[in-house]
Structure 1
Amino acid sequence: MTVRFNHTIVAAKDKVRSASFLAELLGLPEPQPLGHFLVVKLSDGASLDYIESSNDFPGQHYAFLVSEDVFDSLISKIRARGIQHWADPRGQHPGEINTHDGGRGVYFQDPSGHYLEALTVPYGGW
């Protein structure tokens, strides 16, 4: 039997704003409604299902393994829009990217305060 990740629910202050932010920055299809969720489909078929919440919630961490061309596009959009970003999860290297394991990585926040990461090589290399 195989095991594959299918979806997770992401709490958002404004599900349209947060889902659209992620989809646009990563070059993914427009988020689609499904019941009271707004669904961002990833290339591998998994999805992030955004739900609006008025409750306080802690920022979660979502990491995405992306191709070099997606990373190039992402970092260009981040810089062009003045989105704060870091080379590290603690925010000690603002405005930079990292080159861990021979790849590139960046951390940034979405409009709901979730911590997003994009990397081109998994930690530990291939």
Structure 2
Amino acid sequence: MPVQLNHTIVYAGDQQRSAEFYARLLGLTVQPRFGPFLPVTTANGVTLDFAEAGEGPVAPQHYAFLVTEEEFDAILGRIEEAGLTHYADPHLRRAGEINHNDGGRGVYWQDPDGHVLEIITRPYGSAGRTG
């Protein structure tokens, strides 16, 4: 079997709030608790296991999601409905814009703990690929 990402832990100040935030915006479902984790599973089977960060601030991470054009529109709509600012760049400088990297579309936004989330419709580097 080729190597595949199965799950990753997303530390949060409030794991319930964060799991619901991701699930609502991405159109996913919070799964039943698994030990100390609240899982949210993506369409390709990768699970985001939300865990309480404990004391102190959460170290921000970056999570990128490859989505279809239709999913992009739906997610962007939910981001805007939630009153969140989205950006065209990972440094969060181009507010309200969409990037068109590799001939697709992409945006970034932040979760309640400062993690930077990204949706893209084309994988990076895919513009010159064939087959």
Query: TM-score with structure 2 length normalisation?
Result: 0.91
Q: Which residue of 1 aligns with 2:2?
A: 2
The alpha-carbon deviation at position 82 of structure 1 amounts to 1.3
From the superposition, tell whether residues 48 and 102 of structure 1 become closer, same or farther in structure 2 (CA, over 3 Å): same
* Offset, 1:12: 0.3
Partner of 1:37: 37
Residue 79 of structure 2: aligned partner: 78
Indicate whether 1:11 and 2:17 are aligned: no
Structure 2 gap ranges (5+) = none
Question: What RMSD in Å do the two structures reach over aligned CA positions?
Answer: 1.2
For 2:97, the equivalent position in structure 1 comes to 96
In 1, the alpha carbon distance for the partners of 2:113 and 2:119 equals 17
Give ranges in structure 1 of 5+ residues lacking alignment. Answer: none
Query: How far has the Cα of 1:59 moved from its partner?
Result: 0.3
Alpha-carbon separation, structure 1, partners of 2:31 and 2:99: 29
Quote the Cα distance in structure 2 between the aligned partners of 1:85 and 1:32: 30
| Number of residue pairs aligned between Structure 1 and Structure 2 | 126
For normalisation by structure 1, the TM-score amounts to 0.94
Residue by residue over 1:8-38, the C-alpha shift from the partner in whole angstroms, topping out at 9 and shown as x without a partner, is: 1111001011111111111112333111100
Runs of 4+ in 1 over 6 A off after TM superposition: none
